[in-house]
Amino acid sequence: MHAVANPPEGQASHQDVRDVAARVVAWQRQYGRRHLPWQNQHDPYRIWLSEIMLQQTQVATVIDYYQRFLVRFPDLNTLAEAPEDDVLRLWAGLGYYARARNLHRCAQVIRDHWGGRFPPDAVQIATLPGIGRSTAAAIAAFAYGERSPILDGNVKRVFARYFGVYGPVTSSRCDKALWRLAEAALHAAPAALDMAAYTQGLMDLGSGPCTRSRPNCADCPLSQGCHAYQYGLQQTLPTPRPRKTQPERHCHMLVLAHRNRILLNRQPTPGIWGGLWSLPRYDSLLALQTACAARSLPGDRLDELPPMQHVFTHFRLHIQPWQLEIDRGTEPIKTPEEAWFPAIELASSALPAPIKTLLTSLYPAQVGNG
Protein backbone atom coordinates (compact mmCIF):
# COMPACT_ATOMS: atom_id res chain seq x y z
CA MET A 1 0.00 0.00 0.00
CA HIS A 2 1.11 3.55 -0.68
CA ALA A 3 0.81 6.25 1.93
CA VAL A 4 -1.93 8.81 1.34
CA ALA A 5 -1.14 12.46 1.98
CA ASN A 6 -2.58 13.64 5.29
CA PRO A 7 -4.64 10.54 6.09
CA PRO A 8 -7.45 11.14 8.57
CA GLU A 9 -6.98 10.03 12.14
CA GLY A 10 -8.86 6.78 12.50
CA GLN A 11 -12.43 6.80 13.76
CA ALA A 12 -13.70 3.28 14.40
CA SER A 13 -17.12 2.60 12.95
CA HIS A 14 -19.64 0.28 14.60
CA GLN A 15 -18.93 -2.30 11.89
CA ASP A 16 -15.18 -2.07 12.52
CA VAL A 17 -15.63 -2.74 16.24
CA ARG A 18 -18.25 -5.44 15.86
CA ASP A 19 -16.18 -7.54 13.48
CA VAL A 20 -12.90 -7.45 15.38
CA ALA A 21 -13.51 -10.22 17.94
CA ALA A 22 -15.08 -12.69 15.49
CA ARG A 23 -12.24 -12.30 13.00
CA VAL A 24 -9.58 -12.64 15.68
CA VAL A 25 -11.16 -15.82 17.10
CA ALA A 26 -11.54 -17.44 13.68
CA TRP A 27 -7.91 -16.67 12.85
CA GLN A 28 -6.62 -17.87 16.21
CA ARG A 29 -8.38 -21.20 15.92
CA GLN A 30 -6.69 -21.83 12.59
CA TYR A 31 -3.30 -20.15 12.89
CA GLY A 32 -2.72 -19.16 16.52
CA ARG A 33 -0.60 -20.80 19.19
CA ARG A 34 -2.46 -23.62 20.94
CA HIS A 35 0.20 -25.94 22.35
CA LEU A 36 2.26 -23.82 24.73
CA PRO A 37 2.78 -25.47 28.13
CA TRP A 38 0.45 -23.05 29.94
CA GLN A 39 -2.41 -23.43 27.45
CA ASN A 40 -5.35 -25.85 27.34
CA GLN A 41 -6.02 -25.76 31.08
CA HIS A 42 -7.77 -23.44 33.53
CA ASP A 43 -5.46 -23.43 36.57
CA PRO A 44 -5.19 -19.72 37.53
CA TYR A 45 -1.85 -20.36 39.28
CA ARG A 46 -0.17 -21.66 36.13
CA ILE A 47 -1.83 -19.04 33.95
CA TRP A 48 -0.74 -16.26 36.31
CA LEU A 49 2.83 -17.57 36.38
CA SER A 50 3.02 -17.61 32.58
CA GLU A 51 1.54 -14.11 32.27
CA ILE A 52 4.07 -12.64 34.70
CA MET A 53 7.00 -14.40 33.02
CA LEU A 54 5.84 -13.26 29.58
CA GLN A 55 5.95 -9.60 30.56
CA GLN A 56 8.92 -8.10 28.68
CA THR A 57 10.17 -11.60 27.75
CA GLN A 58 9.89 -13.71 24.60
CA VAL A 59 7.87 -16.93 24.62
CA ALA A 60 10.85 -19.04 23.53
CA THR A 61 12.83 -17.85 26.55
CA VAL A 62 9.98 -18.30 29.02
CA ILE A 63 9.16 -21.95 28.26
CA ASP A 64 12.20 -23.50 29.98
CA TYR A 65 11.96 -21.14 32.96
CA TYR A 66 8.25 -21.86 33.32
CA GLN A 67 8.75 -25.62 33.35
CA ARG A 68 11.66 -25.50 35.81
CA PHE A 69 9.72 -23.16 38.07
CA LEU A 70 6.76 -25.54 38.24
CA VAL A 71 9.00 -28.47 39.17
CA ARG A 72 10.16 -26.55 42.26
CA PHE A 73 6.87 -24.69 42.93
CA PRO A 74 4.05 -26.91 41.62
CA ASP A 75 1.32 -24.95 43.39
CA LEU A 76 0.65 -21.59 44.96
CA ASN A 77 1.16 -22.70 48.55
CA THR A 78 4.59 -24.16 47.79
CA LEU A 79 5.61 -20.83 46.26
CA ALA A 80 4.20 -18.84 49.19
CA GLU A 81 6.12 -20.94 51.73
CA ALA A 82 9.44 -20.84 49.85
CA PRO A 83 12.36 -18.57 50.82
CA GLU A 84 12.73 -15.59 48.51
CA ASP A 85 16.26 -16.74 47.64
CA ASP A 86 14.83 -19.91 46.07
CA VAL A 87 12.40 -17.88 43.96
CA LEU A 88 15.08 -15.48 42.77
CA ARG A 89 17.48 -18.34 42.03
CA LEU A 90 15.03 -19.90 39.58
CA TRP A 91 14.22 -16.49 38.12
CA ALA A 92 17.86 -15.51 37.55
CA GLY A 93 18.40 -14.71 33.88
CA LEU A 94 14.82 -13.65 33.12
CA GLY A 95 15.50 -10.09 34.23
CA TYR A 96 13.06 -7.52 35.64
CA TYR A 97 13.48 -9.08 39.06
CA ALA A 98 10.71 -7.04 40.66
CA ARG A 99 8.42 -9.51 38.87
CA ALA A 100 9.85 -12.39 40.90
CA ARG A 101 9.59 -10.51 44.20
CA ASN A 102 6.00 -9.50 43.42
CA LEU A 103 5.20 -13.07 42.38
CA HIS A 104 6.39 -14.34 45.75
CA ARG A 105 4.55 -11.61 47.64
CA CYS A 106 1.39 -12.19 45.61
CA ALA A 107 1.39 -15.89 46.48
CA GLN A 108 1.64 -15.00 50.16
CA VAL A 109 -1.23 -12.50 49.90
CA ILE A 110 -3.45 -15.09 48.21
CA ARG A 111 -2.51 -17.63 50.88
CA ASP A 112 -3.14 -15.23 53.76
CA HIS A 113 -6.15 -13.24 52.50
CA TRP A 114 -7.87 -15.42 49.91
CA GLY A 115 -7.60 -18.84 51.51
CA GLY A 116 -5.01 -19.96 48.97
CA ARG A 117 -7.44 -19.55 46.04
CA PHE A 118 -7.19 -16.95 43.28
CA PRO A 119 -9.77 -14.16 43.39
CA PRO A 120 -12.73 -14.95 41.13
CA ASP A 121 -12.68 -11.97 38.76
CA ALA A 122 -10.36 -9.51 37.02
CA VAL A 123 -11.21 -6.52 39.23
CA GLN A 124 -10.16 -8.37 42.39
CA ILE A 125 -7.18 -10.05 40.72
CA ALA A 126 -5.89 -6.58 39.79
CA THR A 127 -5.61 -5.68 43.49
CA LEU A 128 -2.83 -8.25 43.97
CA PRO A 129 0.89 -7.30 43.97
CA GLY A 130 2.47 -7.08 40.52
CA ILE A 131 -0.77 -7.58 38.59
CA GLY A 132 -2.11 -4.74 36.46
CA ARG A 133 -5.44 -4.39 34.69
CA SER A 134 -4.45 -6.14 31.46
CA THR A 135 -2.71 -9.07 33.17
CA ALA A 136 -5.67 -9.51 35.53
CA ALA A 137 -8.04 -9.60 32.56
CA ALA A 138 -5.89 -12.19 30.77
CA ILE A 139 -5.83 -14.45 33.85
CA ALA A 140 -9.60 -14.12 34.28
CA ALA A 141 -10.22 -14.80 30.59
CA PHE A 142 -8.08 -17.94 30.46
CA ALA A 143 -9.01 -19.30 33.90
CA TYR A 144 -12.68 -18.28 34.17
CA GLY A 145 -13.77 -17.25 30.68
CA GLU A 146 -14.49 -13.73 31.94
CA ARG A 147 -15.21 -11.04 29.32
CA SER A 148 -12.57 -8.49 30.25
CA PRO A 149 -10.48 -6.60 27.67
CA ILE A 150 -6.70 -6.92 27.61
CA LEU A 151 -4.29 -4.25 26.43
CA ASP A 152 -0.66 -5.30 26.70
CA GLY A 153 2.06 -3.78 24.53
CA ASN A 154 1.41 -6.05 21.56
CA VAL A 155 -2.34 -5.46 21.63
CA LYS A 156 -1.81 -1.70 21.83
CA ARG A 157 0.16 -1.94 18.59
CA VAL A 158 -2.57 -3.98 16.87
CA PHE A 159 -5.33 -1.58 17.91
CA ALA A 160 -3.30 1.57 17.22
CA ARG A 161 -2.77 0.38 13.64
CA TYR A 162 -6.24 -1.00 13.07
CA PHE A 163 -8.20 1.93 14.50
CA GLY A 164 -5.69 4.63 13.54
CA VAL A 165 -4.79 5.91 17.00
CA TYR A 166 -2.04 8.52 16.68
CA GLY A 167 0.43 9.42 19.37
CA PRO A 168 2.70 7.38 21.67
CA VAL A 169 0.63 4.52 23.09
CA THR A 170 2.18 5.17 26.51
CA SER A 171 0.62 8.63 26.67
CA SER A 172 -2.44 9.07 28.86
CA ARG A 173 -4.60 10.22 25.94
CA CYS A 174 -3.77 7.24 23.73
CA ASP A 175 -3.95 4.78 26.59
CA LYS A 176 -7.49 5.90 27.42
CA ALA A 177 -8.52 5.82 23.75
CA LEU A 178 -7.16 2.31 23.29
CA TRP A 179 -8.91 1.02 26.41
CA ARG A 180 -12.19 2.48 25.13
CA LEU A 181 -11.69 0.68 21.82
CA ALA A 182 -10.76 -2.59 23.55
CA GLU A 183 -13.91 -2.35 25.64
CA ALA A 184 -16.05 -1.45 22.60
CA ALA A 185 -14.72 -4.37 20.55
CA LEU A 186 -15.54 -6.78 23.36
CA HIS A 187 -18.94 -5.20 24.06
CA ALA A 188 -19.91 -5.59 20.40
CA ALA A 189 -18.73 -9.21 20.19
CA PRO A 190 -21.15 -12.16 20.08
CA ALA A 191 -22.49 -13.33 23.44
CA ALA A 192 -20.96 -16.77 22.92
CA LEU A 193 -17.47 -15.39 22.28
CA ASP A 194 -14.64 -17.79 23.14
CA MET A 195 -12.72 -15.50 25.49
CA ALA A 196 -9.63 -17.72 25.67
CA ALA A 197 -9.34 -17.78 21.86
CA TYR A 198 -10.00 -14.05 21.56
CA THR A 199 -7.48 -13.10 24.26
CA GLN A 200 -4.85 -15.47 22.92
CA GLY A 201 -5.59 -14.35 19.37
CA LEU A 202 -4.86 -10.71 20.17
CA MET A 203 -1.57 -11.74 21.76
CA ASP A 204 -0.71 -13.94 18.78
CA LEU A 205 -1.45 -11.15 16.30
CA GLY A 206 0.91 -8.82 18.12
CA SER A 207 3.72 -11.38 18.17
CA GLY A 208 3.00 -12.72 14.67
CA PRO A 209 1.57 -10.80 11.70
CA CYS A 210 1.46 -7.41 13.44
CA THR A 211 5.05 -7.23 14.63
CA ARG A 212 6.71 -3.93 15.34
CA SER A 213 9.16 -3.72 12.43
CA ARG A 214 8.03 -6.25 9.82
CA PRO A 215 4.25 -6.62 9.86
CA ASN A 216 2.87 -9.28 7.53
CA CYS A 217 -0.45 -7.73 6.59
CA ALA A 218 -1.26 -10.46 4.05
CA ASP A 219 -1.65 -12.95 6.91
CA CYS A 220 -3.53 -10.64 9.29
CA PRO A 221 -7.27 -11.18 9.77
CA LEU A 222 -7.72 -7.48 10.49
CA SER A 223 -6.05 -6.11 7.35
CA GLN A 224 -9.46 -5.40 5.85
CA GLY A 225 -10.54 -2.18 7.50
CA CYS A 226 -7.13 -1.56 9.08
CA HIS A 227 -6.28 2.14 9.09
CA ALA A 228 -2.53 1.61 8.91
CA TYR A 229 -2.81 -0.90 6.07
CA GLN A 230 -5.22 1.32 4.11
CA TYR A 231 -2.89 4.32 4.25
CA GLY A 232 0.46 2.52 4.23
CA LEU A 233 1.29 3.60 7.79
CA GLN A 234 2.48 0.29 9.20
CA GLN A 235 5.90 1.81 9.95
CA THR A 236 4.36 5.00 11.35
CA LEU A 237 1.82 3.54 13.76
CA PRO A 238 2.06 3.21 16.65
CA THR A 239 3.67 6.63 16.89
CA PRO A 240 7.18 6.05 18.29
CA ARG A 241 8.12 7.70 21.53
CA PRO A 242 10.70 10.46 21.25
CA ARG A 243 14.14 8.91 21.53
CA LYS A 244 16.06 9.70 24.68
CA THR A 245 19.78 9.41 25.15
CA GLN A 246 20.39 6.34 27.26
CA PRO A 247 22.28 7.23 30.44
CA GLU A 248 25.65 5.56 30.91
CA ARG A 249 26.79 4.38 34.33
CA HIS A 250 30.18 3.00 35.36
CA CYS A 251 31.33 0.86 38.25
CA HIS A 252 34.05 -1.53 39.39
CA MET A 253 33.28 -5.05 40.60
CA LEU A 254 35.51 -7.34 42.59
CA VAL A 255 35.83 -11.11 42.24
CA LEU A 256 37.29 -11.80 45.68
CA ALA A 257 38.23 -15.47 46.07
CA HIS A 258 39.25 -17.18 49.29
CA ARG A 259 40.05 -20.90 49.23
CA ASN A 260 37.70 -21.62 46.33
CA ARG A 261 34.92 -19.46 47.72
CA ILE A 262 33.66 -16.19 46.24
CA LEU A 263 32.47 -13.18 48.22
CA LEU A 264 29.00 -11.98 47.21
CA ASN A 265 26.77 -9.17 48.41
CA ARG A 266 22.98 -9.26 48.49
CA GLN A 267 21.68 -6.41 46.34
CA PRO A 268 19.34 -3.91 48.03
CA THR A 269 15.65 -3.70 47.18
CA PRO A 270 14.57 -1.65 45.35
CA GLY A 271 17.52 -1.38 43.00
CA ILE A 272 19.13 -3.15 40.07
CA TRP A 273 19.16 -6.89 40.66
CA GLY A 274 17.34 -6.28 43.94
CA GLY A 275 17.37 -9.34 46.19
CA LEU A 276 19.96 -11.22 44.11
CA TRP A 277 23.54 -11.99 45.11
CA SER A 278 26.21 -10.16 43.13
CA LEU A 279 29.85 -9.16 43.31
CA PRO A 280 30.89 -6.27 45.56
CA ARG A 281 30.44 -3.07 43.54
CA TYR A 282 32.39 0.17 43.86
CA ASP A 283 31.84 3.57 42.29
CA SER A 284 35.55 4.31 41.92
CA LEU A 285 38.85 2.49 41.56
CA LEU A 286 40.08 4.13 44.76
CA ALA A 287 37.14 2.71 46.72
CA LEU A 288 37.86 -0.75 45.33
CA GLN A 289 41.58 -0.52 46.12
CA THR A 290 40.82 0.62 49.66
CA ALA A 291 38.51 -2.36 50.19
CA CYS A 292 41.13 -4.75 48.81
CA ALA A 293 43.86 -3.32 51.03
CA ALA A 294 41.80 -4.19 54.10
CA ARG A 295 41.62 -7.88 53.11
CA SER A 296 44.87 -8.64 51.26
CA LEU A 297 48.54 -9.08 52.04
CA PRO A 298 51.39 -7.30 50.22
CA GLY A 299 52.02 -10.34 48.01
CA ASP A 300 48.42 -10.62 46.82
CA ARG A 301 47.83 -9.36 43.28
CA LEU A 302 44.80 -7.46 42.03
CA ASP A 303 44.21 -8.45 38.39
CA GLU A 304 42.24 -6.36 35.93
CA LEU A 305 39.74 -8.42 33.87
CA PRO A 306 38.20 -7.58 30.48
CA PRO A 307 35.47 -4.92 30.78
CA MET A 308 31.84 -5.84 30.29
CA GLN A 309 28.52 -4.05 30.03
CA HIS A 310 24.87 -4.77 30.67
CA VAL A 311 21.90 -2.91 29.22
CA PHE A 312 18.97 -2.23 31.51
CA THR A 313 15.66 -0.69 30.50
CA HIS A 314 16.68 2.84 31.41
CA PHE A 315 20.47 2.86 31.34
CA ARG A 316 23.62 1.04 30.23
CA LEU A 317 25.99 -0.18 32.94
CA HIS A 318 29.72 -0.39 32.17
CA ILE A 319 31.49 -2.79 34.51
CA GLN A 320 35.21 -3.06 35.09
CA PRO A 321 35.79 -6.38 36.90
CA TRP A 322 38.84 -7.15 39.02
CA GLN A 323 40.04 -10.40 40.57
CA LEU A 324 41.84 -10.85 43.87
CA GLU A 325 42.84 -14.23 45.32
CA ILE A 326 43.55 -14.19 49.06
CA ASP A 327 44.64 -17.03 51.31
CA ARG A 328 44.87 -15.98 54.88
CA GLY A 329 42.87 -16.36 58.06
CA THR A 330 39.26 -17.41 58.30
CA GLU A 331 36.71 -15.23 56.56
CA PRO A 332 33.16 -14.86 57.97
CA ILE A 333 30.79 -17.52 56.66
CA LYS A 334 27.63 -15.47 56.10
CA THR A 335 25.67 -12.40 57.16
CA PRO A 336 22.27 -11.31 55.81
CA GLU A 337 24.01 -9.04 53.28
CA GLU A 338 27.36 -10.73 52.67
CA ALA A 339 28.37 -14.35 52.17
CA TRP A 340 31.20 -16.55 50.90
CA PHE A 341 29.77 -18.93 48.30
CA PRO A 342 31.62 -22.13 47.37
CA ALA A 343 32.35 -21.88 43.64
CA ILE A 344 30.53 -25.15 43.01
CA GLU A 345 27.28 -23.58 44.34
CA LEU A 346 27.35 -20.51 42.11
CA ALA A 347 25.61 -22.12 39.15
CA SER A 348 22.53 -22.81 41.28
CA SER A 349 22.57 -19.49 43.18
CA ALA A 350 20.43 -16.41 42.61
CA LEU A 351 22.94 -14.44 40.55
CA PRO A 352 22.33 -11.87 37.79
CA ALA A 353 22.97 -13.43 34.38
CA PRO A 354 26.05 -11.33 33.48
CA ILE A 355 27.66 -12.04 36.86
CA LYS A 356 27.06 -15.76 36.47
CA THR A 357 28.57 -15.59 32.98
CA LEU A 358 31.67 -13.82 34.32
CA LEU A 359 32.18 -16.31 37.13
CA THR A 360 31.65 -19.25 34.78
CA SER A 361 34.43 -17.92 32.57
CA LEU A 362 36.77 -17.64 35.55
CA TYR A 363 35.86 -20.94 37.24
CA PRO A 364 34.45 -23.14 34.45
CA ALA A 365 35.10 -26.46 36.16
CA GLN A 366 33.28 -25.48 39.36
CA VAL A 367 30.54 -23.10 38.16
CA GLY A 368 29.87 -24.79 34.86
CA ASN A 369 29.29 -28.13 36.56
CA GLY A 370 27.61 -26.84 39.68
Please name the helix (run of DSSP H) or strand (run of DSSP E) that holds residue 72, with its range, or none. helix 59-72
Q: Which DSSP string do the residues of 33-58 spell out, in sequence order?
A: ---STT-S---HHHHHHHHHHHTTS-
Distance between CA atoms of residues 17 and 185, nearest Å: 5
Q: 331 catalytic, yes or no? A: no
The 8-class DSSP code of residue 245 comes to P
| Gyration radius (Cα) of the chain, Å | 25
Residue 223 DSSP SS3: coil
Q: CA-CA distances (angstroms) from residue 138 to 130, 297, 314?
A: 14, 59, 27
From the candidates 9, 51, 304, 345, give the one annotated as an active-site residue: 51
- Ordered alpha helix ranges (H), 219-339: 227-231, 285-295
Backbone angles phi, psi at 29, to 5 degrees: -65, -25
206-230: b or e for each residue (b if 16 or more CB lie within 10 Å)? bbbbbeeeebebeebbbbebbbbbe
Q: So which residues are the catalytic ones?
A: 51
